[in-house]
Amino acid sequence: MKFKKIFIIGLSVLFLFFSLSCSSGNKKENESKELLVFHAGSLSLPFKQIAKAFQEKNPGITVKLEAAGSVASARKITDLHRYCDVFASADYKVIDEMLIPEYANFNIKFAGNEMAIVYTEHSKFADEINAQNWMDILLKDEVAYGRSNPNDDPCGYRTVLVAKLAEKYYNLEDFAAKLLAKDQKYIRPKETDLLALLESGNLDYIFLYRSVAQQHHLKYLLLPDSINLKKFELKDYYSSVETQIRGKKKGEMITKKGAPMVYGITLHNDAEKNELAVKFLDFILSEGMRIMEENGQTSLVPSPTKTYDKIPESLKKYAKP
């Protein structure tokens, strides 16, 4: 009887060990079929469509998307030591300045955009606003406007740069300081956080990328090329203004000069060994670029990069030395 009891206990232990081993194996197998993507908020809609298309072509694969301001996303890696397979930034310089070389080896420039002033038909002065009077309208006491946080989001520091360029372009004394001092309670972590406030009527106007305005079928005012950060030909003019944001370390500041809008994308260092991560990035930079353009973002593939030699061989066709 005693022997039988010991035998049963032994079998139970073996069964439990076998179950845990299988569970661990299945977990690892499942993990290998999941991809985590940190991306700019302005990429939310196109990346959702790209992930869906990729998953349809690769059954059993799960692409998890995590949106945030690009600087905040980078800090998840540098400060919180979180891992992601793919990192896509609304400003390619975030990758250069915050991730290379400790967390990423290369940077591929893949899409462009431009700044716009976005509103709805219910916004105050919606029937009057134009490229000549928007400065006066946004400064009115009865008008509320929103922007994203420069320390978290490229759209935020680009708003500051646009304000400074507008002051210069329209020859308006102290315009940037007045605009940036106004409505600070409506500053949010990323630009897409402002959409609900705009659509609910709490805000009349927001500074936002043109692509996001198009994706959400919102009204938007296009700004002159000397202000909108769109044209490569005006890069020297854009660089005549600058602002500062928090750097990687406490007390460190990074100077952001005006520059044409260029999105960058990379893999985490460890993800370069993951064939699935490389495959997904390849998909983004090929079939995914059609989806990007359908969502209002110009493809810049292939573009020159200083990190060309560090790009995996299968992805080098999407960049130039």
pLDDT in tens, 106-163: 999 999 999 999 999 999 999 999 999 999 999 999 999 999 999 999 999 999 999 9
Residues 60 and 244: their CA atoms lie apart, in Å, by: 44
Q: What is the model's pLDDT at position 9? A: 47
Cα distance from N-terminal residue to C-terminal residue, the chain: 77
Assess contact for 299 and 263: CB atoms under 8 A: no
Phi, psi for 79 (deg, rounded to 5): -100, -40
Per-residue pLDDT tens over the stretch 171-228: 999 999 999 999 999 999 998 899 999 999 999 999 999 999 999 999 999 999 999 9
Fold observed for domain 30-112+262-320: D-Maltodextrin-Binding Protein; domain 2 (3.40.190)
| Of 250 and 67, more confident | 67
Superfamily in which the 115-255 domain is placed by CATH? Periplasmic binding protein-like II (3.40.190.10)
Q: Is there a common fold for 30-112+262-320 and 115-255?
A: yes
For the chain, give the mean pLDDT.
91
Neighbours of 102 (CB within 10 A): 11
Domain coordinates of the chain in residue numbers? 30-112+262-320, 115-255
> What is the sign of the dihedral through the CA atoms of 48, 49, 53 and 54?
negative
